[in-house]
Amino acid sequence: MIVQNTKFIKSYFDKTNTIILFAWMLVNGFFLIKNGIVVTGEAGKYISEARVFIQEGRPSSSNFWFYFTEIFLLAFSFKLKLGVVFVLIIQLLFNLAATFSFCRILQYLFHKKEVALIGTIILLLNGPYQEFNTYLQTESLFYSITLIYTCFLLHIEKLSLKNFVGIIVYLLVTVITRPTGLLFLPATFIYLFYIFFKKMQLVKKVIFLISFTFLFFYILDKALGSGGELDFLRPFMDENIICGVSQATHSTINQTLERSNSIYGLFYYITHNFSQFTRLAWLKTLAFFGLYRSYYSVFHNIFLIIYFSAIHFLAFLGILYFVKNYMGILIYLLSIIFLTWMTVILTCDDWHNRFYLAISPYVIILGLAGLNRLINISANSE
């Protein structure tokens, strides 16, 4: 028993994990020194909602149920007088767990510790992604929870009752952490359907598909109409590429429905204002994948362009590896990327690239396949 425990401890403190832990501490230590614990800006909104929840037992508006994880954590900390440091520690612990989960899934996919180490370091060098760990708002927990969930899902080899319950619990938590957690529902369904339900009878497949589609769109419609600050027509009326930032020129919207915050309301807008919609969709796509922001410093923009352009290039090279070896995983990763991109097109892109940052670990996974391919080609040519 002692020998087994010793092996277990060594497996978590081998050279690779020690390097990752040290790098993680450096990155998060840097941002903590740079930013402190950020409680202003958007973080103040969740702190305010936490105090409302303590007093009234519910958020001030129903849309905040989709941000409830952070609100509950803050309320719990305030109620027990633990302060904001406790919330920061929880966010950091989740991020650390996500970092090691990411390393393990890379080892599982590429069978090389070196590739797993390189990929994890690349994730840690994603400064805009890691910086949110010091902000007491939803992004840090959302990034960490969804990454841990994805690593859990992609490791499943048998859809047992225990694993199925785990999937349901993870999905529920993602949905109440940020509204974009809803995007993991169809991506998960598509993945499970492809991997585990291939042999299902056609009639059952059709019933299953129709039932899930109806359930997903019902939940999505409820989310769109949850009230509060959510107004899904506003970005089109103000021609927002970046949320809250209007374009210099406006084109006129022809027709909209009174109840615009619904799936049908969005569909009605698109079909009756198709020219404006396609123009804005293209500009949002450039902002989403380009990540450039005019208000960022020159250094920040150069970093974003070099870092993500290289990863995008490698991701295209890596797709063939997944087609040959992990088609189901490729479908899942591309589903998350595609659905997030479509969400930006149907709303607006974020001031700080937060929508893209949420999917950046999955782009890195694809990119590592491309990097691994280049390494193998280089080794074979020598």
Residue type, 168: I
> Helix, strand or coil for residue 58?
coil
| pLDDT at position 230 | 56
> What is the model's pLDDT at position 283?
92
- 365 or 274, which is more confident? 365
DSSP 114-176: HHHHHHHHHHHT-HHHHHGGGBSSHHHHHHHHHHHHHHHHHH-SS--HHHHHHHHHHHHHHHT
For residues 143 and 235, which has the higher predicted lDDT (pLDDT)?
143
For the chain, what percent of residues have pLDDT higher than 70? 84
As separate numbers, helices (DSSP H) first and strands (DSSP E) second, the chain gives 17, 2
Q: What is the pLDDT of residues 283-332, one digit of tens each?
A: 999 999 998 888 889 999 999 999 999 999 999 999 999 999 999 999 99
User: Looking up tokens 């063939």, which residue turns up?
Assistant: 320
Q: How far is CA 226 from CA 147, 221, 343, in A?
A: 26, 9, 17
Contacts 24+ apart (CB under 8 A), 158-161: 159/192, 159/196
- Return the pLDDT at 226: 52
CA 353 to chain centre: 11
Output the average pLDDT for the chain: 86
Task: Say whether pLDDT at 7 is over 60.
Answer: no
pLDDT digits (tens, 9 = 90+) for 151-183: 999 999 888 889 989 999 999 999 999 999 999
Residue 336 has phi, psi (to 5 degrees) of -65, -45
53-67, 69-83, 253-267, range with the lowest pLDDT: 253-267
pTM tops 0.85 = yes
* Gap between the Cα atoms of 327 and 335, Å rounded: 12
Amino acid at 196: F
Most confident among 30-34, 230-234, 272-276 (mean pLDDT): 30-34
Whether the per-residue pLDDT at 36 is higher than 90: the answer is: yes
